[in-house]
Structure 1
Amino acid sequence: MRAMTYRGPYKLRVEEKDRPRVEHPNDAIVKVQLAAICGSDLHLYHGMMPDTRIGHTFGHEFIGVVDEVGPSVQNLAVGDRVMVPFNVFCGSCWFCARGLYSNCHNVNPNATAVGGIYGYSHTTGGYDGGQAEYVRVPFADVGPVKIPDWMHDEDAVLLTDAAATGYFGAQLGEIAEGDTVVVLGAGPVGLIAAQSSWLMGAGRVIVVDHLPHRLEKARTMAHAETLDYDELDDVVLELKKQTDFLGADVVIEAVGAEADGNALMHVTGTKLKLQGGSPVALNWAIDGVRKGGTVSVVGAYGPIPNAVKFGDAMNKGLTLRMNQTPVKRQWPRMFEHVRNGHLTPREMVTHRFPLEHIAEAYHVFSAKLDGCIKPLILPSAS
């Protein structure tokens, strides 16, 4: 098959690779119909995640058609059109039994924190991802869901991570009716977090970013107020001014480790493979929320500590909530919101690239060229 393969920082190729095979009775092989590039993929692209191995195929957002199933698979059949959550999970461990699919205990021998993730280095289990013509899907009876007939393919692929993560970010904020919610980051996750905040009762939603095309999308898609931090001397001071000098009730941090990487991160990340991520956005969240408020963190961070203002968080009595999104847990309610037009994931898709042009797609997305917000990848499987 043809698949995107990692050859080193900033170096991607589409190469011939062995077609995945059923390795366990519970596996399925999915022929990919549509995939996406996620902002967190850029950490891999820039060589700033530990244990990203040459030849690894990225991509944790994908949908497709079941091409083959193992002998134990009961819920799927060849020909079913499925959406696959980015989490690889067993469905039966202590954590899965409580809906914490992103913390599954049985799918990632390389870490005790996060479970398995498709296409996201060997720190998350080493599973090849969906930026390819075919992908192996373990635990096929518990992860994938058949795509409803009414659902648009581009909504479906975004529900496998970006949209679900934005919704989860708002959910973690425990928004009360009338709350002022600040969303840091107007990328795909932040846009859905802003839309979702209205659904959960927010009285005011403010989105902070610095790219004009993303701020415009926040205004038109999420009907949010916007702040351009490049135009402000002090983001936190402006947030205080906007909220009677109290601070926001809830801040959703949808930035995470800056995918570009600052100079220190390039030394510690690329050279030592110890990326933790810049704490700038997280500290804005801690400083910009009111005393007793809630900070929700769904931005992607690396595996080492950051210089976070934890003392300030403690002294302000903040509630900090965070996790990788347990995607499938969000789907039943999200499906209804999408069906009713209250969430519009595909509205943020700006670019579509064939698999053969994926190196260009990563460059355009990474450099934020041509107003790129969310790029999709179309494999040409035969």
Structure 2
Amino acid sequence: MRAMVYRGPYKIRVEEKDIPRIEHPNDAIVKVQLAAICGSDLHLYHGLMPDTRVGTTFGHEFIGVVHEVGSSVQNLTPGDRVMVPFNISCGSCYFCSRGLLSNCHNVNPNATAVGGIYGYSHTTGGYDGGQAEYVRVPFADVGPTVIPDWMDDEDAVLLTDAVATGYFGAQLGEIREGDTVAVFGAGPIGLIAAKTAWFMGAARVIVIDHLEYRLEKARTFAHAETVNFAELDDIVVHLKRTTDGLGADVAIDAVGAEADGNLLQHVTSAKLKLQGGSPVALNWAIDGVRKGGTISVMGAYGPIFSAVKFGDALNKGLTLRMNQAPVKRQWPRLFEHIRNGHLKPSEIVTHRIPLEHIAEGYHLFSAKLDGCIKPLIVPSAS
């Protein structure tokens, strides 16, 4: 098969790899119909995540058709059209049984925190991802779900991470009726978080970014107020001024490890790997939310030190809530929103790129060229 292969920071290519095989009776092999590049994939591409090994295939957002199933799989049959959550979960451990599907204890021997994730370095289990023609799906009776006949493929693939994560970010904010919600980052997850904050009773939604084309999408897709922080001396002061001096009730960090920061932050995070990422957006959230407010962290950070203003969060009495989204838990409600016409995820898709040109797709997305917000990858499997 053809698959995207990592060869080092900023170096990816499409190569021939063996089609994955059934390794356990609970496995399925899925022929990928549609995948996506996620902002989190860029952290790998830029070399920000530890133990990202040469030869790895990225991609944790994908849908496809079941090609083969192991002898113990009961819920799927070859030919089923399925969507696969980015979490790999056993469904029965202490954490899975409590709904913490992203913290499964049985799928990742290399960490005590996050569970397994497709195509996301060996810190998350070392599983190959779906930016390929075929992918192995462990615990096939737990994660994959047959796509409803009424759902479009492009909506379905976005539900495997971006939409579920953005919605989960708004949920973690514990938004109450009348709240002002500040969303840092107008990428796909920030856009979904801003859009769905209205569903939870927000009275104001403010999206902060520095790229005008993304802010325009926040206005048209999420119907949010927008702020270009590059045009301000101090984004925190601006937030205070627009909220009667108090700050936002809820702040959502939808940026993570690659927030634009000062030179020291860039060198210590991106170059020397001394931080798990630039904490600029998270620190702005801590400073920009009101005392007693809530911060939801959806942006991805590496599993090492980051210079977060924890003392300020403590002294302000803030609630910080965060996790990798337990994707499948979000699906029933999101299915309702999509079927009822309240949400159309594919509206944030800007590019559809053949697998053969995925290197160009990563460059386009990374360099923020051609108004790229969400690129999809189309494999060429026969």
The alignment's TM-score, normalised by the length of structure 2, stands at 0.98
Q: 2:270 & 2:30 partners in 1: Cα distance?
A: 33
Contact 1:88 1:107 in 2 (8 A): yes
Match of 1:141 in 2: 141
3-state SS of 2:192 partner: helix
Contact 2:259 2:278 in 1 (8 A): no
* 1:70 aligned onto 2:56: no
One-letter code aligned to 1:287: D
Match of 1:306 in 2: 306
3-state SS of 2:376 partner: strand
Q: CA deviation at 1:272?
A: 5.7
Match of 1:117 in 2: 117
Q: CA deviation at 1:375?
A: 0.2
Between 340-349 and 192-201, report the one with greater CA deviation.
340-349
One-letter code aligned to 1:161: D
Q: CA deviation at 1:271?
A: 6.3
Q: In the superposition, relative to structure 1, how do residues 261 and 361 fare at CA in structure 2: closer, same or farther (>3 Å)?
A: farther
Match of 1:246 in 2: 246
3-state SS of 2:370 partner: helix
Match of 1:222 in 2: 222
Q: 1:32 & 1:274 partners in 2: Cα distance?
A: 37
Match of 1:193 in 2: 193
1:22-79, Cα deviation, whole Å (9 max, x unpaired): 0000000000000000001011111221111111000000000000000000000000
Match of 2:183 in 1: 183
Q: In the superposition, relative to structure 1, how do residues 202 and 269 fare at CA in structure 2: closer, same or farther (>3 Å)?
A: closer
Match of 2:26 in 1: 26
Q: 2:218 & 2:270 partners in 1: Cα distance?
A: 33
One-letter code aligned to 2:174: E
Contact 1:62 1:84 in 2 (8 A): yes
Q: 2:126 & 2:53 partners in 1: Cα distance?
A: 9
* 1:40 aligned onto 2:45: no
3-state SS of 1:249 partner: strand
Q: Which runs of structure 1 show a deviation greater than 2 angstroms over 4 or more consecutive aligned residues? A: 259-275
Match of 1:3 in 2: 3
Q: CA deviation at 1:158?
A: 0.4
Contact 1:46 1:260 in 2 (8 A): no
Match of 2:204 in 1: 204
The CA RMSD over aligned residues, in Å, is: 1.4
3-state SS of 1:29 partner: strand
Contact 1:47 1:269 in 2 (8 A): no
State how 1:280-319 maps to structure 2 within 5 Å: 280-319=280-319
Contact 2:102 2:324 in 1 (8 A): yes
Q: 1:209 & 1:345 partners in 2: Cα distance?
A: 20
1:247-275, Cα deviation, whole Å (9 max, x unpaired): 11101110001178875567556666555
1:105-134, Cα deviation, whole Å (9 max, x unpaired): 010011100000000010100000000000
Q: 1:91 & 1:274 partners in 2: Cα distance?
A: 35
* 1:350 aligned onto 2:336: no
Match of 1:336 in 2: 336
* 1:93 aligned onto 2:90: no
1:133-171, Cα deviation, whole Å (9 max, x unpaired): 000000000000000011111110000001110000000
Q: 2:202 & 2:270 partners in 1: Cα distance?
A: 40
Q: 1:313 & 1:275 partners in 2: Cα distance?
A: 19
3-state SS of 1:156 partner: helix
Q: Which runs of 5+ in 1 are unaligned?
A: none
Identity among equivalent positions (%) equals 83
Q: CA deviation at 1:305?
A: 1.9
Q: In the superposition, relative to structure 1, how do residues 253 and 333 fare at CA in structure 2: closer, same or farther (>3 Å)?
A: same
Contact 1:48 1:275 in 2 (8 A): no
Q: 1:277 & 1:185 partners in 2: Cα distance?
A: 15
Contact 2:354 2:378 in 1 (8 A): yes
Q: 2:182 & 2:271 partners in 1: Cα distance?
A: 35
One-letter code aligned to 1:281: A
One-letter code aligned to 2:258: E
Q: In the superposition, relative to structure 1, how do residues 61 and 275 fare at CA in structure 2: closer, same or farther (>3 Å)?
A: farther
Q: 2:30 & 2:260 partners in 1: Cα distance?
A: 32
Q: 1:201 & 1:10 partners in 2: Cα distance?
A: 41
Q: Which runs of 5+ in 2 are unaligned?
A: none
One-letter code aligned to 1:198: W
One-letter code aligned to 2:131: Q
1:309-331, Cα deviation, whole Å (9 max, x unpaired): 11111111111100000000000
3-state SS of 1:300 partner: coil
State how 1:361-376 maps to structure 2 within 5 Å: 361-376=361-376
3-state SS of 1:167 partner: helix
Q: In the superposition, relative to structure 1, how do residues 211 and 94 fare at CA in structure 2: closer, same or farther (>3 Å)?
A: same
Q: 2:169 & 2:190 partners in 1: Cα distance?
A: 9
1:199-223, Cα deviation, whole Å (9 max, x unpaired): 0010110000010110000000000
